[in-house]
């Protein structure tokens, strides 16, 4: 009964984690705040503001300074994504999207990023998706279910007809809170709460995945 897929973008269809890291790192260096790629792991799927809060810790910044730093980081990030192309799609992404389209499955993007539309355009997949929910769509960030519920509505689907593909713990939590099916990409320590855990989209076939899900439903 699954009729639509909602894909997270960063870490699922493309690996922007490194670009987010470079942008946050530049900001942290300018502010004299220690920050390394290990610290960056905790920022996976985390909203822009919450990411900054994790970086600055208890340093006393004013709201105006926080706003300025979020804008500064974003300007560095926007510069970096200008160079993205379809080569930056993760292995298996295009093949899976094409297979789903051929099977008549609706496809939405559910990303917390305000840059999602730009990234989708740069990746060259705009014509493969039916709807985009991004960082402008709802107020409450993941793990709240709001973004995925918004996305299902865009696709004209009920939550139970929708399946979310996510790489972040907060995203899996959001999908489950929305009453949707959840596929987690990555280590069990991170996405183990999902109905199905896969290493990546590489080699994934819709028929195999559907069989796994109907085993669970039984
Ligand atoms: C996604 C990414 C996060 C990012 C967030 C906001 O969830 O995984 O790393 O912080 O989007 O992105 P934005 O482009 O709006 O700063
Ligand atoms: Mg993600």
What is the ipTM, given to two decimal places? 0.98
- State yes or no: 155 annotated in a binding site: no
- 43 CA: nearest ligand 1 atom: 9
Q: Give the list of residues 6+ apart from residue 94 with CB closer than 8 angstroms, or none.
A: 86, 125, 128
What is the distance in A from the centroid of ligand 1 to the CA of 15? 12
The DSSP annotation for 15-55 comes to: --HHHHHHHHHHHHHHHT----HHHHGGGTT--HHHHHHHH
pLDDT of residue 202: 97
Write the DSSP assignment of 108-149 as a string of letters. Answer: EEE-S-TTHHHHHHHHT-GGG-SEEE-TTT-SSPTTSSHHHH
For this structure, is 146 an active site residue?
A: no
DSSP category for residue 12: T
User: Is 215 among the annotated ligand-binding positions?
Assistant: no
Query: 78-95: b or e for each residue (b if 16 or more CB lie within 10 Å)?
Result: eebbeebeeebbbeebbe
Model pLDDT, residue 114: 97
Q: Is position 45 annotated in a ligand binding site? A: yes
For ligand 2, the distance from its centroid to the CA atom of residue 44, given in whole angstroms, is 6
Q: Whose CA is nearest to atom 12 of ligand 1?
A: 113
Q: Say what the pLDDT of residue 214 is.
A: 87
User: pLDDT (tens digit, 9 = 90+) per residue, 4-61?
Assistant: 999 999 999 999 988 999 999 999 999 999 999 999 988 988 999 999 999 999 999 9
The answer to whether 47 is annotated as binding is yes
Q: Which atom of ligand 1 is nearest to the CA of 116?
A: 14
In this prediction, residue 217 carries a pLDDT of 75
Ligand 1 binding pocket (C-beta < 6 A) is 10-11, 20, 43, 45-48, 51, 74, 111-115, 135
Ligand 1 mean position, distance from CA 24 (Å): 11
Give yes or no: 134 in active site: no
CA of 151 to the centre of ligand 2 (A): 15
Q: Which residues of the chain have pLDDT under 50?
A: none
């Amino acid at each position: 009964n699954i009729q639509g897929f909602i894909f997270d973008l960063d870490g699922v269809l493309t690996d922007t984690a490194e670009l987010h890291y470079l942008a946050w790192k530049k900001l942290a260096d300018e502010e004299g705040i220690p920050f390394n790629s290990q610290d960056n792991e905790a920022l996976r799927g985390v909203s822009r503001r919450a990411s900054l809060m994790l970086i600055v810790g208890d340093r006393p910044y004013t709201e105006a300074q926080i706003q300025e730093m979020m804008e500064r980081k974003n300007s560095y990030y926007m510069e970096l994504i200008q160079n993205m192309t379809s080569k930056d799609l993760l292995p298996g992404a295009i093949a899976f999207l094409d297979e789903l389209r051929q099977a008549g499955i609706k496809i939405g993007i559910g990303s917390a990023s305000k840059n999602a539309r730009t990234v989708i355009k740069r990746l060259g997949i705009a014509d493969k998706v039916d709807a985009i929910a991004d960082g402008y769509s709802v107020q409450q960030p993941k793990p709240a279910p709001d973004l995925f519920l918004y996305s299902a509505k865009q696709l004209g689907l009920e939550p139970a007809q929708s399946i979310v593909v996510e790489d972040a713990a907060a995203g899996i939590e959001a999908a489950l809170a929305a009453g949707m099916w959840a596929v987690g990409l990555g280590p069990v320590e991170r996405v183990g709460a999902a109905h199905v855990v896969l290493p990546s989209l590489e080699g994934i076939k819709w028929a195999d995945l559907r069989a796994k899900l109907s085993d669970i439903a039984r």
